[in-house]
Amino acid sequence: MSNPAETFEPHRRRLLGLAYRMLGAMSDAEDAVQEAYLRWHAADRDRVLDPRAFLMTTTTRICLDMLTSARARREEYVGPWLPEPVFDTAALAPDSRAELAEDLSISLLLILETLSPLERAAFLLHDVFDFSFSEVAAALDRSEAACRKLATRARAHVRVARPRGITSPSAGPGGLDKKHAELMSAFAAATQAGDLNTLMHLLANDARVVTDGGGKVRSALNAIDGAERVAKFRAEVTRKRPDAWWQPDFRLRFGSVNGLPGVIVESPGGPVQTTAFEIDGDVIRALYIVRNPDKLRHLATTRQRSDPDETNMC
């Protein structure tokens, strides 16, 4: 019989990408892929005609089972829920040229959260991972017609809810677009200075801040909407408790968070906060801040290499 590890590894990246999109958490995605490997190890592999389809189907079904308990946990979640951030989106990219193949933005993952588990699975398998509807039907144990309807509903919802005008200019030598780096630097300086006028100028009118602390660390318990409210919130946080959690050995650097321009606050043990910036032209449309330590633990071993841009502002 074929070696299970050797025949599994070529599919690992694809499986991890599917599981992360299904579950919104790298820790859960890794658990799902490990379970898929155990089932592959126990299977009669020589009788499997299409290992890719077998493993994608197995991983999908594991994720559907996991979503049941995950959704129950999220109903009790303290404050806004955000997906676990990732730095290396290429490691989760499917072998596909689909429109959404490389999109791991926070906004898209939040849209996927609003779909039913079956809608999410059908949409991801067909529109992102290039499964035919016959393969989707086999994976979900539904008819092709039912799977087409699931994917169509999901696709329509994604098209309506997905932000328009959000662009990702080509990255420069440091891995981050110069224009984005300048905008984030200006925002950081204005926040630290409590400069409300500059903050308002840098924010879109309908700007939003979402902070995920999970009840583990201090964070806003509701999303904050509108440029004026966002500006006041950022300035007040810095003014009222500038050193409430910042430690001398922390550093701040620019990088990529879920494919978006980002700011990462790092301790010697790994990131303690990530902020993904959704930028629309010359203004900031949204800030997604993850502070829940449980959601940052996996990043300690996957730190992104980039030139640090250190400051005491977070």
Q: How far is CA 38 from CA 34, 60, 163, 284, in A?
A: 6, 15, 39, 44
Read off the pLDDT of residues 117-157 as tens digits, 9 standing for 90 and up: 999 999 999 999 999 999 999 999 999 999 999 999 999 99
- Give yes or no: residues 8 and 155 share one domain: yes
One domain for residues 9 and 153 = yes
Q: Let me know whether 9 and 147 are in one domain.
A: yes
Tell me: do 25 and 81 sit in the same domain.
Answer: yes
Q: Where are the alpha helices (DSSP H) in the chain?
A: 4-23, 26-42, 51-75, 106-113, 117-123, 133-140, 144-161, 178-193, 196-202, 227-240
Pair (150, 194) in one structural domain: no
**Average pLDDT, integer, range 108-119:** 95
Q: Is there a domain that residue 194 lies in?
A: yes
The amino acid at residue 78 is V
Is residue 166, in this structure, part of any structural domain at all? no
Asked if residue 47 is part of any domain, the answer here is yes
Domain region containing 65 = 4-161
Q: Read off the CATH number of the domain in which 81 is found.
A: 1.20.140.160
Q: How far is CA 20 from CA 89, 126, 140, in A?
A: 11, 16, 18
CATH, residue 267 = 3.10.450.50
Q: Which of 127, 161, 195 is the last residue of a domain?
A: 161
At 133 the pLDDT is 97
Residue 261, Cβ neighbours under 10 Å: how many?
24
pLDDT digits (tens, 9 = 90+) for 224-280: 999 999 999 988 877 655 555 677 888 988 999 999 999 999 998 889 999 999 999
Indicate whether 231 belongs to any domain: yes
State residue 23 phi and psi, 5-degree precision.
-105, -20
Q: How many residues does the chain have?
A: 314
**Residue pLDDT, tens place only, 53-97:** 999 999 999 999 999 887 777 788 999 999 999 999 888 988 877
Residues 144 and 228 in one domain: no
DSSP assignment letter at 256: E
Residues 6+ apart with CB under 8 A from 98: 127, 128, 129, 130
Q: Give the global pTM.
A: 0.89
Closest CA to 283 of 187, 191, 171, 194: 187
> Residue 173: inside a domain, yes or no?
no
Residue keyed to tokens 């100028």 = 201
Q: Which two tokens stand for residue 135?
A: 């393969």
Give me the mean pLDDT over the 11-24 stretch.
96
Residue 170 DSSP symbol: P
What percent of the chain stands above pLDDT 90?
Answer: 68
- Regarding whether 189 and 132 lie in a shared domain, the answer is no
How many structural domains comprise the chain?
Answer: 2
Q: What is the pLDDT of residue 301?
A: 60
Side chain identity at residue 107, one-letter code: S
pLDDT single digits (tens) 24-42: 999 999 999 999 999 999 9
**Within 10 A of 186 (CB to CB), how many other CB atoms are there?**
16
Helix, strand, coil: what percent of the chain each, to 5?
50, 15, 35
Write down the pLDDT at residue 100.
83
So what's the pLDDT on residue 60? 98
Residue 20 placed within a domain: yes
Say if residue 8 is in the same domain as residue 157: yes
